[in-house]
């Protein structure tokens, strides 16, 4: 007979690991189910955005060097394939290995939390308890049952917790990503790609050590054909082929369109991270919201005892986060409405000039000026 837990956390990504690490200080028995498989990694550009860096700084966490990926680049090359437009924007992202980042956060979870590797197949409410059926990757008994008093869904866009206990109407894309050998003689860059012919969303091209990854978000119907068409259009735009992919990854990703898409939970069931709909509708950045929502729910658990108290506190604590993500929905209009994006890109607003060739005598440095001391640039 498996022991009973106070809290079962389904999903050990940034949201689930953060919650388990912080909530463990309250003395509750916590089960953390890690469903991540190193052979089927989630598509992700792997850039740690300033918002995520700020959340890590708040908890005084120091990112180990092993998490970082080469190279570190200081601008994003934004490309509109339809209008043949290119602009560079300075951004303060950290290039990282997403799987190493998730593994690092999981390593911070204290030992009193029981971590199992497996996939939750079914969960149901039985009176004041919840019963979970988990397909475990370790041990002889592959399918095991667990009982808990409260459930935290941290299992991403395709959350079994959200689908089981809540009306799930959020719109979703299919994220597809491929890995290629980067080849010789190409200057690495981060890129954000717009192509209205194939997707109403954005795509990315990132360099990771010896690899270059290309991925994007596409409407579910005909997503693979749209991905391949966009890849051909991108290769034509760049003037070279990416080559044969060494691996392909795919998963669902949320695209919140209204405030009602954000579900925090009730009656002993809570959602954090992308399971709650906490992801930017404009950039699809979700790591910062995952870590933040996990920490806010942990704080609610430490302050409250009854499920209704915890749910209310968590809802109130996420008010600023939900407002911020609602604003991202408004920002999305400017990014993805073609005429608005074309106007912004053509205007050069907030863009920088990037010299891809050695600077010659007499060249302009694109807005970089000497300081008042007369430094000779």
Mean pLDDT by 10 residues, the chain (377 residues): 87 97 95 75 90 93 95 94 95 94 96 94 94 83 90 96 93 96 82 96 94 96 97 96 94 94 96 97 95 97 91 97 96 92 93 72 48 40
Round to whole Å and give the CA distance between 11 and 132.
Answer: 13
Round to whole Å and give the CA distance between 188 and 212.
Answer: 9
Q: Quote the pLDDT of residue 185.
A: 62
Q: Quote the pLDDT of residue 183.
A: 76
Round to whole Å and give the CA distance between 22 and 55.
Answer: 14
Which tens digit of pLDDT belongs to each residue from 126-169?
999 999 999 988 765 688 999 999 999 999 999 999 999 998 88
Q: Quote the pLDDT of residue 207.
A: 94
Dig out the tokens for 159 from the structure.
């959350």
Q: Looking at the whole model, is its pTM more than 0.85? A: yes
* Cβ proximity of 325 and 61 under 8 Å: no
Q: Is the N-terminal amide bond of 71 cis, ω within 30° of 0?
A: yes
> Per residue, what are the HEC states of 64-84?
CHHHECCCCCCEEEEEECCCC
* Cβ proximity of 190 and 88 under 8 Å: no
Q: Quote the pLDDT of residue 35.
A: 84
Q: Quote the pLDDT of residue 140.
A: 56
- φ, ψ dihedrals at 339, nearest 5°: -65, -35
Half-sphere exposure of 275 (CA within 13 A, CB side): 31
Round to whole Å and give the CA distance between 32 and 26.
Answer: 15
Dig out the tokens for 256 from the structure.
């919140």
Q: Quote the pLDDT of residue 141.
A: 62
Round to whole Å and give the CA distance between 215 and 226.
Answer: 12
List of E strands, 223-309 = 247-255, 265-266, 269-271
Q: Quote the pLDDT of residue 137.
A: 80
* Cβ proximity of 189 and 221 under 8 Å: no
Separation in Å, CA 372 to CA 99, 142, 352, 361 = 46, 70, 21, 22
* Cβ proximity of 261 and 253 under 8 Å: no
- Closest CA relative to residue 331, chosen from 275, 272, 284: 284
Round to whole Å and give the CA distance between 70 and 206.
Answer: 10
Dig out the tokens for 114 from the structure.
């029981």
- 3-class secondary-structure state, position 351: coil
Q: Quote the pLDDT of residue 361.
A: 47
| Domains by residue range for the chain, with CATH | 4-52+98-171+259-331 (3.50.50.60)
- φ, ψ dihedrals at 223, nearest 5°: -65, -40
């Amino acid at each position: 007979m498996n022991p009973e837990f106070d809290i079962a956390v389904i999903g050990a990504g940034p949201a689930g690991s953060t919650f388990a690490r912080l909530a463990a200080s309250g003395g509750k028995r916590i089960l953390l189910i890690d469903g991540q498989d190193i052979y089927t990694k989630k598509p992700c550009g792997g850039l740690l955005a300033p918002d995520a860096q700020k959340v890590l700084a708040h908890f005084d966490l120091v990112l180990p060097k092993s998490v970082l990926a080469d190279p570190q680049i200081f601008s994003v090359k934004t490309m509109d394939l339809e209008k043949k437009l290119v602009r560079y924007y300075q951004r303060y992202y950290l290039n990282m290995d997403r799987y190493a980042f998730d593994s690092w956060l999981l390593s911070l979870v204290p030992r009193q939390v029981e971590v199992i590797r497996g996939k939750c197949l079914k969960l149901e409410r039985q009176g004041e308890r919840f019963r979970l059926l988990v397909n475990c990757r370790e041990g002889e008994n592959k399918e095991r049952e667990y009982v808990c008093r409260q459930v935290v869904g941290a299992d991403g866009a395709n959350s079994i917790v959200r689908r089981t206990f809540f009306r799930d109407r959020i719109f979703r894309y299919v994220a597809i990503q491929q890995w290629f050998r980067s080849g010789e003689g190409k200057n690495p860059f981060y890129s954000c790609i717009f192509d209205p012919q194939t997707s109403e969303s954005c795509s990315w091209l990132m360099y990771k050590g010896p690899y270059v990854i290309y991925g994007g978000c596409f409407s579910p119907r005909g997503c693979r054909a749209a991905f391949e068409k966009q890849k051909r259009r991108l290769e034509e735009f760049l003037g070279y082929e990416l080559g044969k992919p060494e691996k392909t990854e795919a998963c669902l990703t949320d695209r919140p369109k209204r405030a009602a898409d954000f579900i925090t939970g009730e009656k002993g069931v809570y959602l954090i991270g992308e399971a709650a709909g906490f992801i930017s509708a404009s950039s699809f950045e979700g790591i910062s919201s995952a870590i933040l929502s996990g920490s806010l729910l942990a704080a609610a658990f430490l302050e409250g005892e009854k499920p209704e108290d915890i749910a209310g506190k968590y809802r109130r604590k996420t008010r600023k986060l939900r407002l911020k993500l609602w604003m991202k929905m408004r920002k999305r209009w400017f990014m993805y409405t073609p005429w608005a994006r074309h106007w912004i890109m053509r205007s050069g607003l907030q863009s920088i000039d990037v010299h891809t060739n050695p600077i010659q005598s007499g060249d302009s440095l694109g807005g970089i000026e000497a300081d008042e001391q007369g430094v000779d640039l």
